């Protein structure tokens, strides 16, 4: 076998794995959508769409755009704390690009990769950007886990969750302090220049030199804690969006604002699980389950869930415009 065949084999394998992953996630979305809709009265579902309140429907994308802006503020705070400064305008633009990619790709990794690449192209150090983005993800997940666990623990508005949901959420909540402890311990690792010998050779030495820039970044725990707290408004804005969509289609307020904000945490956490296309299928199953806990019809849950998916995509469309307008800086000759 020639070297060209060997070199060409790896990209082909990666392409095959990407196609397989895409197919699995499409299949998961289709299967979960079938599971969610198999007992639905579509006549009743379509009837609710006939009486749409356009004002509330138009407010929903604006609310999700506000959530993206809060996310940008959170990410920028982490970037500045880890010596990868971006202006709030730059961070907001890149978060909208992230939102666009996330609403149309099989996972959220595409959006994160996009914001990392473009932040580096705008002059931020790559190791610092990567660290801040990973911490941004950690803060977001930690916040929504604690939010959902609090809802399960305190059971507001008579929301009594199944025992399995409660056990999983409480276990995840206990993992958050563990994650913070790991971040603290990472800071105790000596800086790379204290244990890497530039003259040494071998695989371990090469790997150490490759990791040295990343390990040289010190994690700012105060900034991480701030980011966890700053993530709460994002979940609240998701709840407001659910309230607007439900009221816009059914012409009623049976899902009041307080309950919509309460169920937003479990919903956001479930949709964050990367097993389907942009959350489709997972969102519908969980939404119907949450509506069932409140005694609301599954048809209403399905309409709200589908509209929420559309609204998320629409709210990410400014990211497409921004992405098309981005230009790679020309290197000086």
255-306: per-residue pLDDT in tens? 889 999 999 999 999 888 878 887 888 899 999 999 998 988 888 899 999 9
CA atoms within 13 A on the CB side of 12: 6
Q: What pLDDT sits at residue 207?
A: 52
CB of 10 closer than 8 Å to CB of 17: no
Answer whether residue 331 is part of any domain: no
Q: What pLDDT sits at residue 106?
A: 55
Q: Is the dihedral of CA 77, 233, 71, 321 positive or negative?
A: negative
207 is in which domain, residue-wise? 23-325
Of 289, 251, 287, 243, nearest in space to 268 by CA: 287
Number of separate domains in the chain: 1
Answer whether residue 154 is part of any domain: yes
| Phi/psi-derived region of residue 220, left when phi > 0, alpha when psi is between -120 and 50, beta in every other case | beta
H helix runs in 155-279, sequence order: 163-187, 203-215, 221-230, 232-250, 257-271
Give the pTM. 0.84
Q: How far apart are CA 127 and CA 212, in angstroms?
A: 9
Answer whether residue 28 is part of any domain: yes
Q: The tokens of 325 are what?
A: 């307008």
Answer whether residue 84 is part of any domain: yes
**pLDDT score of 2 more than 50:** no
Q: What pLDDT sits at residue 4?
A: 44
H helix runs in 192-231, sequence order: 203-215, 221-230
What percentage of the chain reaches a pLDDT higher than 70? 81
| Phi/psi-derived region of residue 323, left when phi > 0, alpha when psi is between -120 and 50, beta in every other case | alpha
Answer whether residue 95 is part of any domain: yes
Place of tokens 């371990």: 204
Q: How many CB atoms lie within 10 A of CB 183?
A: 15
Output 66 or 5, whichever has higher pLDDT. Answer: 66
Of 40-54, 115-129, 170-184, the range with the lowest mean pLDDT is 40-54
Q: The tokens of 197 are what?
A: 């010998």
What phi and psi, each to the nearest 5 degrees, are found at residue 331? -75, 135
Q: Which helix (H) or strand (E) element contains residue 122?
A: none
Of 129-133, 135-139, 156-160, 222-226, the range with the lowest mean pLDDT is 156-160
**pLDDT score of 175 more than 50:** yes
Answer whether residue 14 is part of any domain: no
Q: How far apart are CA 175 and CA 138, in angstroms?
A: 11
Q: How far apart are CA 263 and CA 292, in angstroms?
A: 12
Answer whether residue 149 is part of any domain: yes
| Phi/psi-derived region of residue 105, left when phi > 0, alpha when psi is between -120 and 50, beta in every other case | beta
Q: Is the dihedral of CA 267, 271, 277, 278 positive or negative?
A: positive
Q: How far apart are the first and last CA of the chain?
A: 40
Answer whether residue 3 is part of any domain: no
Angle (deg, nearest 10), helices 88-104 and 298-325: 130
Q: How far apart are CA 150 and CA 156, in angstroms?
A: 9
Q: What pLDDT sits at residue 275?
A: 81
For the ranges 29-33, 46-50, 146-150, 215-219, the one whose mean pLDDT is highest: 146-150
- What is the torsion angle, in degrees rounded to the nearest 10, for the CA atoms of residue 211, residue 212, residue 215 and residue 218? -150
Q: How far apart are CA 259 and CA 156, in angstroms?
A: 8
Question: Which residues contact residue 103 at a Cβ distance below 8 angstroms, ignoring those fewer than 6 apart?
Answer: 278, 312, 313, 315, 316
The predicted model gives 215-240 an average pLDDT of 92
What percentage of the chain reaches a pLDDT higher than 90? 44
Q: How far apart are CA 92 and CA 319, in angstroms?
A: 10
CB of 299 closer than 8 Å to CB of 187: no
3-class secondary structure, 187: helix
The predicted model gives 311-324 an average pLDDT of 92
């Amino acid at each position: 076998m020639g070297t060209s065949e060997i070199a060409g084999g790896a990209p082909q394998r990666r392409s095959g794995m990407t196609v397989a992953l895409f197919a699995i996630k499409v299949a998961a979305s289709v299967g979960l959508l079938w599971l969610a809709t198999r007992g639905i009265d579509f006549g009743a579902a379509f009837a609710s769409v006939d009486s749409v309140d356009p004002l509330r429907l138009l407010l929903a994308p604006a609310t999700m755009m506000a959530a993206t802006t809060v996310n940008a503020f959170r990410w920028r705070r982490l970037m500045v704390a880890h010596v990868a400064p971006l202006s709030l305008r730059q961070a907001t633009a890149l978060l909208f690009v992230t939102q666009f990619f996330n609403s149309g790709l099989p996972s959220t990794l595409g959006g994160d990769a996009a914001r990392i690449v473009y932040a580096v192209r705008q002059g931020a150090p790559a190791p610092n950007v990567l660290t801040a983005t990973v911490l941004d993800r950690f803060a977001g997940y930690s916040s929504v886990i604690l939010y959902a666990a609090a809802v399960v623990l305190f059971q507001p508005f008579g929301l009594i969750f199944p025992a399995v949901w409660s056990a999983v959420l409480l276990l995840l909540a206990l993992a958050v302090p563990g994650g913070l402890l790991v971040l603290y311990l990472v800071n105790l690792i000596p800086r790379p220049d204290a244990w890497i010998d530039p003259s040494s050779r071998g695989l371990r030495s090469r790997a150490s030199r490759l990791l040295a820039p990343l390990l040289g970044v010190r994690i700012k725990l105060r900034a991480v804690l701030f980011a966890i707290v700053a993530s709460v408004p994002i979940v609240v804005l998701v709840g407001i969006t659910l309230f607007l969509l439900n009221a816009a289609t059914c012409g009623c307020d049976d899902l009041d604002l307080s309950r919509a904000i309460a169920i937003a945490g479990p919903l956001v956490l479930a949709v964050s699980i990367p097993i389907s296309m942009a959350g489709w299928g997972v969102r519908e199953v969980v939404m119907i389950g949450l509506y069932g806990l409140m005694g609301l019809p599954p048809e209403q849950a399905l309409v709200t869930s589908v509209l929420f998916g559309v609204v998320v995509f629409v709210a990410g469309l400014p990211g497409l415009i921004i992405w098309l307008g981005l230009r790679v800086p020309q290197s000086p000759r």
